[in-house]
Structure 1
Amino acid sequence: MLAALGGCAIAPSHPALIGAALPELIPVREFVANRQATGAYRVSPDGKKLAWMGVSGVVPAIWVKTIGGTDDKAFPIRARHYVWSGDSRFLVALVDPAGDEDMHVHVAAVDGSAGFIDRTPFAKTRAGVNRVIDDTAALIIETNQRDKKVFDPYRLDLETGKLTRIVENPGTVAWWGFDRAGVLRARLVLEGERSMLQLPDPQATPSAWRTTASWDRDSGLRVLDFTDGGAAAWALSNRGRDKTALVKLTLATGAEAVEYAAPEVDGDNALLAKSSRLPMAAYSLPDYPRLAVFDAALRARLAALSDGGPAEIAVSSRDDADQVLTATVTTERGTRTFLLAGKEAPPQLLGESQLSLIASLLATTKPIAYVSRDGLTVHGYLTLPQGVPPGPLPMVLLVHGGPMLRDRWAEESPSRSLKQFLANRGYAVLQVNYRGSSGYGRAFMEKAIGEFAGKMHDDLIDGVRWAVDTGVADPRRVAIYGASYGGYAALVGATFTPEVFACAVDVVGVSDLARLLETVPPYWEFGLHWWRRYVGDPADPAQRKVMDAKSPVYMAQRAQRPILVMHGVNDPRVKLEQSQRMVEALRAANKTVEFVTFKGDGHGNQKWPNNLTMYRKTEDFLASCLGGRSTGFDYYQLGAWAF
């Protein structure tokens, strides 16, 4: 029976792929449900234990062991993220059970037998970790239990589960700044067009605050940690400059001193020593990842992980003494995690991501750049299938979400394995960091104001033209694929520029811009400022008219080629109705559309059976319109119903 089902594989039909020496056709399960894949390794603060995310049997779990020991222990849970407690006795996991972003804080005692306990079991409430408190079984969490629009900070006792509210959000605080001892040092207030840094003012009243700095709301300031006894902080900031830099911020005055600035792009992140509070390294991404290491000892330890080729080498965790580290080495072919147990100890391989386990079968990704029709330099990445001679290939334009995010060269998340999945099926894959993408400075982002379905889309079309003109892409066999904003872009491509694309794939995409802003979750309140500035205010009739003119749901009659629409039913950001209405409009106009929904998931799938379905639908759909290949069946589909 399995052999017969396996025989449903689709051979490539595009002329460039027929007879090509394509690599082995990788089963879909290897991209979405490889049980040997592990990741998110974290050293405990005392440097004695190690935790990681993997699988126990057939279910997701967080594993724990003593470093150097064989006492591996699994705690079954499907977590978005997790941290150690400051005293190394507890694991704290963030769990989104239904994919609706009602995040819960779960706690498990490492030496106990009870497993994880939900310490924020509140309906329709989002919770998150603000700060782990050093050397204690307590941490600071934030929840919107009291007011769904804003978050109040609480102290959570991990042993008893007791929650104690520290301060009530007046409705304007977007960030609470606690130090490693759990002391509230600062807050960020958003009012009107201004952002304000405020410090406690105990000389006035115990609950009073004073403003020490103010700036326009579209400038960014992200505090990484406090230093100098709480008098200063290390932060990533673009206040008064185009590019984000690592700065030392004097809290009493708001003055900044630049510590490190990448020459061409925004600073991506920075690593601060736990022991000295000094910067150890800074990361940026002009094309390939770039790492600037300031600490000589760390530089020598990380050098042992480099093979001389491009890679994103990052410290992913360390103990409180900055001696026992985990470090990741990430390329476009996956992530490997190493343990650096001491200054003289050689790196020890701990585990690999799903892509890394099949790296030999994967393709190479290279940075590219081109000039848009209005003279803007646009950067991106091109992945070409292995074993195919140069020449016009079927191509997928893979559009990132956000839109104020960016595509990266290295593996990022399960969804980014799409570029390797698509390349294995025989497609060239083009990723474009169109205007409005983060990482290239404020001026580059602000060129996206008012340009949804305008110049932002022109950048994508110009990318396709670049690929055609350079001989990469077959102009008759180009698809557009995207999720979230990328899904919106796919629908725009299918309806505004239908002559460019042979087909389109939309995942959790927006079809009606005005309706999006009217139905977002309450905790998006602070983010709506950006959307109103860049896209429009649906409460203003004139602006709503413009937004409707840029909404694919009203342009369905212009579609010419097949469209695949997929959506998680519990999506709280882009509601399911966005896809339902788009599909209804396409069907009413007698257009070819396939509609797939994912139960138990939301704005991006957590459950492997849903990802299995998404990838399988994608490969069959693209094989029919682009001429690539498809597995036709994966035997994991037989058991997916049980999960």
Structure 2
Amino acid sequence: MKRPTCVTTFALGFILAAGGGVPATASFAQDAPIIERQRLFGNPDRAQLRVSPDGKYLSWLAPRDGVMNIWVAPADHPDQAKPMTAEKDRPIGVHYWTADSAMLLYVQDKGGDENYLLYGVDVATGTEKLLTPFEKTRVMIVGTSTTISDRILVGINNRDERWHDVYSLNLKTGALTEVIRGDGYAGFLADNNLVLRMALRPNAEGGYDFFRVTNNVVEDKPLSRTTLEDALTTQPAGFTTDGKTLYWLDSRGRDTAALIAQDVATGKSQVLAANDKADVGGAMADPVTGEIEAYSVEYLTTEWTAIDPDVGQSLAWLRKRLKGDFQVTSRTRDDTVWTIYNDPVTAPAAAWLYHRKKGALTKLYVSRPDLEGAPLVPMHAREIPARDGLALVSYLTLPPGSDANGDGVPDKPAPMVLLVHGGPWARDSFGYNSYHQWLANRGYAVLSVNFRGSTGFGKSFITAGNLQWGLKMHDDLIDAVDWAVSKGITAKDKVAIMGGSYGGYATLAGLAFTPDAFACGVDIVGPSNLETLLNTIPPYWTAGIEQFHQRMGNPNTPEGLALLKAASPLHKAGQISKPLLIGQGANDPRVKQAESDQIVEAMKANAIPVTYVLYPDEGHGFAKPQNNIAFNAITESFLSACLGGRAEPIGATVKESSAKVLAGAEMLPGLSDALK
């Protein structure tokens, strides 16, 4: 999901006319120390702690020469960590241990193109190997095993970029053996023996047909299916190690997804867990048997419930000792050591080692020690009523010093940033949020809303967003702003809208469809034309195209095309009258650069000012910290000019990034100078 000094007379007039200048809302956070962007958005000291299955090693991500790489240390000597990778450009985002603890795996793309390749590192020798040496190929992991350590199953789309063929990959030699071709299938499910057991194929109803696979042959008749209604809330969740039980997250016959155990031999199913307000979303499984021992449900916050008594005792023990949310991120095979991620919300996250038999909990590191003692502020979970009665789970953060009695309402209205999540089939969550903390520190209230179509709240909430881009989904955002105004959180003319991906679309829609609702907007990799968006989705998303058509509009029908055109901000760009900032990655495979190019051109054609920043080495968002910091520096200056909050000087951030300002540098205080 940023500037300081000069602005031309015309640009200043535009900003003032748009509702900028001296704000009518209160100016908060002035007495709180500025939290520098580098502390919030630079590399963490360490992240993603994992323990190897045999318990001998600890691994994590940490900077090496300024780029996040994988480090490994003996479990009994964490201070003896050594880097195992030497990535020089893009940060490594996620890493995995193999079953025998002999190798680390990670995936990496180039320049944000999302063509992820698989790499392996031998822990003993430090030898790193590209295991899938292909070009313009996206590799996915299909199956891993707790007992088979020398191979895994991978999906590779280099034969036909629309579909992933399944291969057995020898991790020692790199040899690939074809198992099954993926033509027409959205994915495959394997058991612990790396035997394919199920295939998923999209159907005309917008759901999936689930087929049994025997001897690497897909049976003709599906064993079960979903329609559009359950497509995002029903999926197989994996087998037990012995292959006798198949777990499902399943909303069929109910509104929210329940955790279900199905006996493979008899087909009989048992509901293990369900919640009326939210889907079952996470699970902890025994590292040897694969049996699910605990599950999580997230409505306002995340709550874990144990099924296994011993795991329940451990979770209760941890709950007494850790402030805020925590989750178990890895476990040894003998289950004596857990790694724990702990999020206190108003302090930086920490990683802990939990020795279950010893009853010992040891803090291994704080992810961002520079934030210890910083004026971080609480997050407030709220239910906001939409105009038709839907409850919108939302999260509000207030500027430091603005809420003397701690009731979640500022003493006086503050300027506000409506921060809209991407997806849209995703959700906002409770917890530490760097964007909430950053914007609140600059003097803004920050509100994130789970509008209809967001996931996690059951299938009817998702379905309520079908064919509602720019309509009821947008109404929910407007209703949330009206709620904030009615509660005295902000003033109606002091609200900015900001977001990435769908949140970027919502920003463009907000400024184009409701031009008086927002004082300004920040669009990050947001689509401006839903017709061209659907025509340029990545080929490997072909399996989901029917869902897109039924949830957004089908461009192949007159009715669907009309709906998409009406919901596309590009066609109403002439109605935009408030300041707009756009950030885009040139290599974005999801929302192509053309989506930003075309609305910028439309605004220029109508003589509407816009600032447009392009990053040649980024994709769908800004993965490199220097690029993210630079865009946030620009955003900070933009919001300061529009809403009157504080701004840390841009300084050298833009020059240190790959940013190319293609339009409107003169619009923003300090940006032209920062480019010199």
- Partner Cα separation in structure 2 for residue 517 and residue 253 of structure 1: 42
8 A Cα contact 2:228 2:547, kept in partner: no
Change (3 A) 1:449 1:544: same
Q: How does 1:375-524 map to 2 (within 5 A)?
A: 375-388=389-402, 390-411=411-432, 416-524=433-541
Change (3 A) 1:302 1:633: same
Q: Which residue of 1 aligns with 2:384?
A: 370
Q: Which residue of 1 aligns with 2:201?
A: 189
Matched, 1:212 2:223: yes
8 A Cα contact 2:242 2:289, kept in partner: no
- Partner Cα separation in structure 1 for residue 3 and residue 581 of structure 2: 24
Give the AA of the match of 1:401. G
1:39 to 30, 47, 51: 47
- Partner Cα separation in structure 1 for residue 246 and residue 303 of structure 2: 24
State the aligned residue count.
628
- Partner Cα separation in structure 2 for residue 638 and residue 559 of structure 1: 30
Matched, 1:71 2:88: no
1:526 to 521, 540, 543: 543
Matched, 1:198 2:211: yes
Query: Following TM superposition, by how much is the alpha carbon of 1:432 offset from its aligned partner in structure 2, in angstroms?
Result: 0.6
Matched residue of 2:256: which SS? coil
Query: Following TM superposition, by how much is the alpha carbon of 1:22 offset from its aligned partner in structure 2, in angstroms?
Result: 3.7
- Partner Cα separation in structure 1 for residue 250 and residue 559 of structure 2: 35
- Partner Cα separation in structure 2 for residue 579 and residue 149 of structure 1: 25
**CA displacement, residues 22-68 of structure 1 (integer Å, 9 cap, x when unaligned):** 421011111221452x1111111112111111112322210011101
- Partner Cα separation in structure 2 for residue 7 and residue 481 of structure 1: 20
8 A Cα contact 1:22 1:426, kept in partner: no
- Partner Cα separation in structure 2 for residue 638 and residue 429 of structure 1: 29
1:102 to 115, 123, 130: 115
Q: Which residue of 2 aligns with 1:30?
A: 39
8 A Cα contact 1:92 1:107, kept in partner: yes
Matched, 1:319 2:332: yes
**CA displacement, residues 295-340 of structure 1 (integer Å, 9 cap, x when unaligned):** 3333333334435887332111112222221111124344221111
- Partner Cα separation in structure 1 for residue 415 and residue 219 of structure 2: 62
8 A Cα contact 1:232 1:248, kept in partner: yes
Q: How does 1:77-96 map to 2 (within 5 A)?
A: 77=87, 78-96=91-109
Matched residue of 1:130: which SS? strand
Matched residue of 2:235: which SS? strand
Relative to the length of structure 1, the TM-score reads: 0.92
Matched residue of 1:457: which SS? helix
**CA displacement, residues 249-276 of structure 1 (integer Å, 9 cap, x when unaligned):** 2345654321011232111111111223
**CA displacement, residues 59-110 of structure 1 (integer Å, 9 cap, x when unaligned):** 2210011101243110223323211111111111010121010001011111
Query: Following TM superposition, by how much is the alpha carbon of 1:633 offset from its aligned partner in structure 2, in angstroms?
Result: 3.0
Matched residue of 1:347: which SS? strand
Range moving further from structure 2, 225-234 or 586-595: 225-234
- Partner Cα separation in structure 1 for residue 613 and residue 445 of structure 2: 25
Q: How does 1:156-195 map to 2 (within 5 A)?
A: 156-169=169-182, 171-193=183-205, 195=208
Matched, 1:57 2:65: yes
Matched, 1:125 2:140: no
Range moving further from structure 2, 123-132 or 448-457: 123-132
8 A Cα contact 2:4 2:647, kept in partner: no
Matched residue of 2:440: which SS? helix
Change (3 A) 1:523 1:593: same
8 A Cα contact 1:201 1:210, kept in partner: no
Range moving further from structure 2, 316-325 or 612-621: 316-325
1:361 to 375, 393, 406: 375
Q: Mark the runs of 5 or more structure 1 residues left unpaired by the alignment.
A: none
Matched residue of 1:361: which SS? coil
Matched, 1:631 2:648: yes
Relative to the length of structure 2, the TM-score reads: 0.88
- Partner Cα separation in structure 2 for residue 22 and residue 420 of structure 1: 15
Give the AA of the match of 1:287. L
Change (3 A) 1:186 1:470: same
Matched, 1:600 2:617: yes
Q: Which residue of 2 aligns with 1:346?
A: 360
- Partner Cα separation in structure 2 for residue 355 and residue 506 of structure 1: 31
Higher relative contact order (CA 8 A, sep 6+): 2
- Partner Cα separation in structure 2 for residue 252 and residue 299 of structure 1: 29
Query: Following TM superposition, by how much is the alpha carbon of 1:288 offset from its aligned partner in structure 2, in angstroms?
Result: 1.9
Aligned-residue CA RMSD in angstroms? 2.5
Q: How does 1:286-297 map to 2 (within 5 A)?
A: 286-297=299-310
2:599 to 577, 582, 594: 582
8 A Cα contact 1:289 1:311, kept in partner: no
8 A Cα contact 2:192 2:242, kept in partner: no
Change (3 A) 1:20 1:99: closer
Matched residue of 1:486: which SS? helix
- Partner Cα separation in structure 2 for residue 574 and residue 261 of structure 1: 36
8 A Cα contact 2:226 2:234, kept in partner: no
Query: Following TM superposition, by how much is the alpha carbon of 1:172 offset from its aligned partner in structure 2, in angstroms?
Result: 2.5
Q: Mark the runs of 5 or more structure 2 residues left unpaired by the alignment.
A: 8-20, 404-410, 660-676
8 A Cα contact 1:13 1:628, kept in partner: no
| % identity of equivalent residues | 33
- Partner Cα separation in structure 1 for residue 650 and residue 226 of structure 2: 55
Query: Following TM superposition, by how much is the alpha carbon of 1:217 offset from its aligned partner in structure 2, in angstroms?
Result: 4.4
8 A Cα contact 1:156 1:163, kept in partner: yes
8 A Cα contact 1:106 1:118, kept in partner: yes
Matched residue of 1:182: which SS? coil
Matched residue of 1:629: which SS? coil
Change (3 A) 1:19 1:607: closer
Matched residue of 1:306: which SS? helix
8 A Cα contact 1:288 1:310, kept in partner: no
8 A Cα contact 2:515 2:577, kept in partner: yes
- Partner Cα separation in structure 1 for residue 437 and residue 29 of structure 2: 18
